[in-house]
Chains A and B, each alone.
Chain A
Amino acid sequence: MKIFFNPFSCFLWTMFFCAGTGYAGSEKTKLLTWRKLLEEKSNSVTWVSATVRIEISAGGRSFPPSERKLEALGTIIGKDGLTVLSLNDIDPTDSILARMRGGADINVNYTEVLILQPDGSEVPADFLLKDEDLDLAFIRPQNKGPKNSNLPIFEEIDYDPKQSLEIQILDEVVSLGKLGRNLYRKSTLQRGWVNAVIDKPRDYYVIENVTPGTPVFDQSAAWIGITAFRKEGGKPSGVITVPAKDVMEIARQVRERLE
């Protein structure tokens, strides 16, 4: 059998092979980075359970209080277990108001907040601060009394205050999550894409395929922000990602006001 050597076809094959391996290489690197992120930081996303007692008054009448148990995903952002969630997920005020004609005065009291640990144990926590504009809620394990004398070690997500991320439209990102109780609360990674970068009146990202309360990371596994709801007239009108620096600035306020 004769083998013909064609320099032009050789060049094309080489280019194709290189491009192919080059593409496969960056994709593979990205996947490896994200899988490592999942391996190391999966427990920085946690389920939180909140029991609330709701008092509603409208038109001068107060209705009998009712109680509800809510579950939401949160992200641990401090070694002390400080956790940030989407406020909408653990505060039913707006959803109740949306159903009531003529408005109402609603008081939501938190009788129990628990951080659900991967081993099934529960850590009592306090709901410390909320930011209704950014749809963020901050909770922290109780650190007084015998109940939390043996606090677990919390695995927070990494944040570099000096980091400067350049997020652009159509960037591929990933969000860390956890499935519900019926799916054994297994950790997940979801790919998403940046649909929009909003800078006025403040910075937000609109990223598809992400879940409120969970963190979003770029391709180098740097933390971009926390997903929350954007509300209009008290109703969720979209899902946005609040930049990590804004989240951490409010986290500083939590500590400043309570310590």
Chain B
Amino acid sequence: MVLSDQVNSVYKAIVRIEVVSERGSNGRMQKSGSSGSGVIIDNSGLVVTNHHVAGKATRLNCRLHDGEEVGADLIGADALTDLAVLRLRLKDRANNAAPLKTASFADSDLVRVGDTCFAMGSPAGLSQSVTRGIISNLALISNRSSSFRLDGENVGELVRWLGHDAIIFPGNSGGPLVNQRGEIIGINEVAIASLGGAIPSNLAKRVALELAEKGYIERSWIGLECQPSMKDSTAGILISGIIDGSPADSAGFLPGDIITSLQGQKVNARIPEDLPPFHQIISSLPPGKQVSLTGYRGTKNMKWRLVTEKRQPAYQPEKEIKQWGLTVRDFTLLSSLEARRGSQKGVQIHSVAQGGPSFSAKPRLIGNDVITEINGIKIDRTLDLQEVTRKVTKDQSSPVAVLVKFERNLATYLTVIKIGPEADEKRPLEAWKPWLGVSTQVLTNDLAEALGLEKSSRGVRLSQIFPDTPAEKAGLLTGDLIFRIDGQIIQAYRPEDVEVFGNMIKQYRVDSEVKFEVWREGEKVEIIAQLEKRPTPSKELPEFEDEDLEYTARTLSFADRVFLRMNPSEHGLLVENVESAGWAALGGLRQGDLLLKINGNRLSNTDELARLMIQMKEKKPNQVIFFIQRGIHTLFLEIQPEWDPS
């Protein structure tokens, strides 16, 4: 089958979205990289995708159908429908860039079961893909056990997906479901068993345009929790719960009430699929509107009147407060009710960094604690916490103790937390040890016999002599057999005796002269070696932690040079640590890489690296080019950081 021109044109409107997003965990905002799909819906570069693809993005990069890469900005995201809208940075495109290909929405109410559909997207690292299927269901919902939540919102509350059997893969999320006329009938979001589920285009279009206009979706809320009516009861919508202090609470609703009409319009829910339309009617009402509902309480006819309120999100996004080792959230009405608090004032702990200031306090803070006061100053919102922290830690070079009042369940506690600059991290020195500069293998009984020696011989065979070491200076050679050190037999004859020789050497002072009884080419010789101090261990070598690009590099150790077969004139720094999902990691840098050059500048010590990075920080380039060696290969890496504006 050949794709029609119309379908083919939508194919060119697909974008692959590379996302760097941040989530709070372990007291910090942790970055992660992922990818998903989207579709361009107008010439201004508006792209529709899923919230779970791009809703928490801190950086977005879109790859168009022809391979062109364009940065994008998140305009808005809606957790309740799992939709997000981005805008391509068109001004960054070349003047002669090709015009954007766009796709338009169809009326999803006209879609019928059995219609042919095409699922488009950029799954699993592919640039663009299309799969074909038919519409299988017009009101696909997730059952309770498989419902999923985004930012605390039940994603299936408002949406009945278009079910289809066009195959979708991880990475297809956010891509369009298209009809034979090349129009968007849905935005792919979920896979339930072997069926794909797409958000119907009418809902997607409405949400996308409102997000593009306002950056958020305004909805109403009345505080009713509903379920389908019981099998033997009157038709209508069964009220299972009422949220305290909500409009429904004020209107006198009780669990067990049945609603049969809303604003004169009949409502009914026999099965779970009937509930999303009811929720959509309520959420689409303007906040502050007076609403009338009718129904039953037992056999009694009921009439309720209430005024809708603006719906607040289930949770506020978490924020990192670095000086405290915390991620925190402000309360919304729902999250304060979930926490069983009468007030939205206070800052709720989302996560705590183990070993951080808040973790080290006695008593320590834990998740869900609520900070209400610091040094007697009321803390109502995260902004208050940030402001007090800024004032307390300003110009301080060491942590400052603050008195914190917090709530845990029904109790109020006081604790002292030392906030401010992070404590210095230290590592101990290693005790000096003598060394000879050799690798050895145990002279096993079998080996001794095979070499023509007494089977009961004990000792070691030198398997490697390191250059410029006491062993080399003394004239020891690879293949030499050593039986005694200063007359003492080396009690090594089993593989597990591998440490015996090294331990005997370690008994000596670092500058000792040691006599070895050596068997070389069938003759016994005595060799005297002057032991030396072991080369500086790698953990005591100078290192540089780059907090902007998020990696650590250090000077090469003796062992590194031996392992990498580098001669003393060759330069480089060893990448010791790459922070997970940091900028360097996202650019492809790995622990163990040999860092040779940055932006063409050769690196031979950590001071040079530190100076170079200070210059970079001032210039804030969009990308930094690392030239590295990995194994026997060399390669260039593009690191694209978001520089700290300060």
A residues engaging B (CB < 8 A)?
51-53, 55, 57-58, 60-69, 105, 107-112, 126-134, 136-138, 145, 200-202, 232, 250, 253, 257-258
Question: Which residue of chain A lies nearest to B364 when distances are taken between CB atoms in the complex?
Answer: A69
Residues of chain B within 8 A (CB-CB) of A61 are 578, 580, 590-591
Chain A residue with the shortest CB-CB distance to B537: A132
Taking CB as reference atom, which chain A residue is nearest B543? A107
Q: Is the CB of A133 within 8 A of B506?
A: yes
B355 A52 Cβ-Cβ under 8 A? yes
Can you list 20 A-B pairs with a CB-CB distance of less than 8 A?
Answer: A53-B355, A57-B591, A57-B592, A58-B591, A62-B577, A69-B354, A108-B427, A109-B427, A111-B422, A111-B424, A112-B423, A128-B428, A129-B431, A130-B429, A131-B430, A134-B431, A138-B428, A145-B398, A200-B491, A201-B503
Pairwise interchain contact B592-A200, C-beta atoms closer than 8 A: no
Within B417-469, the residues touching A (CB, 8 Å) are 422-433
Known: A110-B426, A112-B360. A63 touches B580 (CB 8 A): yes
Q: In the complex, which range does the number of interface residues on chain B fall in?
A: 35 or more
User: How far, in whole Å, are A51 and B418 apart by their CA atoms in the complex?
Assistant: 15
How many Å from the CB of B363 to the closest CB on chain A?
Answer: 14
Contact present for B488 and A60 (CB under 8 Å): no
Contact (Cβ within 8 A) A67 B356 = yes
Among A105, A110, A134, A138, which residue has its beta carbon within 8 angstroms of that of B425? A110
Whether, in the assembled complex, B359 has its beta carbon less than 8 Å from a beta carbon of chain A, the answer is yes
Please give, as numbers and ranges, the residues of chain B lying within 8 Å of A66 by CB-CB distance.
26, 354
Which residues of A have CB within 8 Å of B433? 133
Report the minimum CB–CB distance from A26 to chain B (whole Å).
37
Q: From known contacts A111-B423, A133-B506, infer whether A64 and B30 are also in contact, taking CB-CB under 8 Å.
A: yes
Alpha-carbon distance between A69 and B352 when the two chains are bound, in angstroms: 14
Report B80 CB to chain A, min CB distance, Å.
30
A166: min CB distance to chain B, Å: 21
Name the distance in Å between B58's Cβ and chain A's nearest Cβ: 17
B314 at the binding interface (Cβ < 8 Å): no
Q: Are A130 and B431 in contact (CB under 8 A)?
A: yes
The reply to whether A128 and B539 contact each other, CB–CB distance below 8 Å, is no
Q: Which residues of B contact A126 (CB under 8 A)?
A: 426
Q: Are B429 and A57 in contact (CB under 8 A)?
A: no
Q: In the complex, A162 Cα to B591 Cα: how many Å? A: 50
Asked if B426 and A127 sit within 8 Å, CB to CB, the answer is yes
Chain A residues positioned under 8 Å from B507 (CB to CB) = 201-202
Q: How far is the CB of A131 from chain B (nearest CB, A)?
A: 4
Q: Are A107 and B354 in contact (CB under 8 A)?
A: no
Closest partner residue, chain A, to B539 (CB atom): A107
Interchain CA distance A38-B142 in the complex, whole Å: 69
Q: Is the CB of B504 within 8 A of A110?
A: no
Taken residue by residue from 48 to 64, chain B's Cβ proximity to chain A (1 for < 8 Å, 0 otherwise) reads as 00000000000000000
Among B354, B503, B507, residue most surrounded by chain A Cβ atoms (within 10 Å): B354
> Complex formed: what's the CA distance from A107 to B499 in Å?
24
Q: Are A109 and B425 touching (Cβ within 8 A)?
A: yes
| Contact of A105 (CB < 8 Å), options: B424, B428, B591 | B591
Give A29 to B437 CA distance when docked, in angstroms. Answer: 52
Tell me if B210 counts as interface (CB < 8 A to partner A).
Answer: no
- CB contact between B503 and one of A53, A128, A133 (< 8 Å): that residue: A133
Contact A57 B355 (CB under 8 A): no
- Residues of B in contact with A (beta carbons under 8 Å apart): 26, 30, 353-356, 359-360, 398, 422-433, 488, 491, 496, 499-500, 503-504, 506-507, 539, 576-581, 585, 590-593, 630
Minimum C-beta distance from A11 to chain B (A): 54
A258 neighbours in B (Cβ, 8 Å): 429
A111-B355, A201-B500, A202-B503 known; A60+B591 contact, CB < 8 A: yes
- A111 touches which one: B30, B425, B430 (CB < 8 A)? B425
Cβ–Cβ contact B431 & A64, under 8 A: no
Q: A67-B353, A133-B506 are in contact. Are A107 and B426 (CB under 8 A)?
A: no
Residues of B within 8 A of A107 (CB): 427, 539, 576-577
A53 in contact with B428 given A67-B354, A112-B360, A201-B504 (CB within 8 Å)? no
Q: Report the separation of the CA atoms of residues A177 and B54 in the bound assembly, to the nearest whole angstrom.
A: 57
Bound form: Cα–Cα A198–B398 in Å: 48
Whether B580 pairs with A64 at a CB distance below 8 angstroms is yes
Assembly CA distance A202 to B508 (angstroms): 10
Q: Which of B428, B488, B500, B577 is in CB contact (< 8 Å) with A130? A: B428
B59 to chain A, nearest CB (A): 19
- Nearest-CB residue, chain B, relative to A128: B428
Interchain CB contact under 8 A, A57 and B578: yes
When distances are taken between beta carbons in the complex, the residues of chain B under 8 Å from A57 are 576-578, 591-592
Q: 10 closest pairs, A vs B, by CB?
A: A67-B355, A60-B590, A57-B591, A109-B425, A131-B431, A67-B354, A201-B503, A62-B578, A127-B428, A64-B580
A257 with B591: in contact, given A107-B576, A107-B577 (CB under 8 Å)? no
Task: Say whether B354 contacts A68, CB under 8 Å.
Answer: yes
Complex CA distance for A112 and B394, rounded to whole angstroms: 23
Bound-state CA distance A137–B593 (Å) is 31
From residue B63, how far is it (CB to closest CB) to chain A in Å?
Answer: 25
Q: Which residue of B lies closest to A133 (CB)?
A: B506
Q: Are B432 and A137 in contact, with the CB atoms below 8 A?
A: no
Best-surrounded residue of B359, B432, B433 (most CB of chain A within 10 A): B432
Give every chain B residue within 8 A of A127 (Cβ-Cβ): 426-428
Q: How far, in angstroms, from A68 to B506 measured CA to CA in the complex?
A: 32
A62 to B579, Cβ gap below 8 A? yes
Q: How far apart are the CA atoms of A130 and B431 in the complex, in Å?
A: 6
Residues of chain B within 8 A (CB-CB) of A202 are 503, 506-507
With A62-B579, A232-B499 given, name 16 new contacts (CB 8 A): A57-B577, A61-B580, A64-B580, A68-B355, A105-B576, A107-B427, A109-B425, A109-B426, A110-B428, A111-B423, A111-B424, A126-B426, A133-B431, A138-B428, A201-B503, A257-B429
Q: How far is the CA of A120 from the CA of B590 in the complex (A)?
A: 45
Complexed CA–CA distance, A145 and B355 (Å): 23
Chain A neighbourhood of B424, CB < 8 A: 111
A58 contacts which chain B residues (CB < 8 A)? Answer: 591
CB distance from A163 to the nearest CB of B (A): 21
CB-defined contacts of B26 to chain A, threshold 8 Å: 64, 66
Contacts of A109 in B (CB 8 A): 425-427
Residue of B nearest to A146 (CB): B398
Residues of B within 8 A of A65 (CB): 579
B501 CB, min distance to chain A CBs, angstroms: 9
User: Chain B residues with Cβ under 8 A from A132's Cβ?
Assistant: 430
**Closest-CB distance, A128 to chain B (whole angstroms):** 6
Please name the residue on chain A nearest to B25 by beta carbon: A64
| Given known contacts A62-B585, A62-B591, A112-B360, A55 and B30 CB-to-CB distance under 8 angstroms | no
Chain A CB count within 10 A is highest, among B26, B30, B630, for B26
> A200–B491 Cα gap in the complex (Å)?
9
Specify which chain A residues have a CB less than 8 angstroms from the CB of B426 in the assembled complex: 109-111, 126-127
Would you give the shortest CB distance from B408 to chain A, in whole angstroms?
20
CB nearest neighbor in B for A108? B427
CB distance from A103 to the nearest CB of B (A): 11
Per the bound structure, the CA–CA distance linking A131 and B111 in Å amounts to 74
What is the CB-to-nearest-CB distance from A64 to chain B, in angstroms, rounded to a whole number? 5
Set of chain A residues within 8 Å of B431, measured between Cβ atoms: 129-131, 133-134, 136, 250, 253
